């Protein structure tokens, strides 16, 4: 099953507020545990890439 970006955002926001994947799944009725782990991992990777903005200037 595919989820919209809005659904992912809502789930990740609830996770940030509660710190509990089980609570997110219980409250929203979606996603699976594996989806949440993947979304959290991908979000953290994106944040790291944004922190390290590379430029060619001296």
User: Residue ranges of the domains in the chain?
Assistant: 5-55
φ, ψ of residue 2 to 5 degrees: the values are -95, 145
Q: What pTM does this model have?
A: 0.77
Q: Is the pLDDT of residue 13 over 70?
A: yes
Return the pLDDT at 54.
59
The span from the CA of 55 to the CA of 58, in Å, is: 8
Question: Are 30 and 11 in contact, with CB atoms under 8 Å apart?
Answer: yes
φ, ψ of residue 29 to 5 degrees: the values are 80, 5
Average pLDDT over residues 18-23: 97
């Amino acid at each position: 099953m595919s989820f919209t970006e809005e659904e992912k955002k809502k789930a990740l926001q609830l996770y940030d507020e509660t710190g509990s994947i089980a609570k997110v799944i219980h409250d929203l009725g979606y996603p699976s545990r594996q989806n949440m782990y993947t979304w959290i991992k991908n979000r953290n990777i994106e944040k790291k890439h944004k922190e390290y903005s590379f430029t060619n200037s001296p």
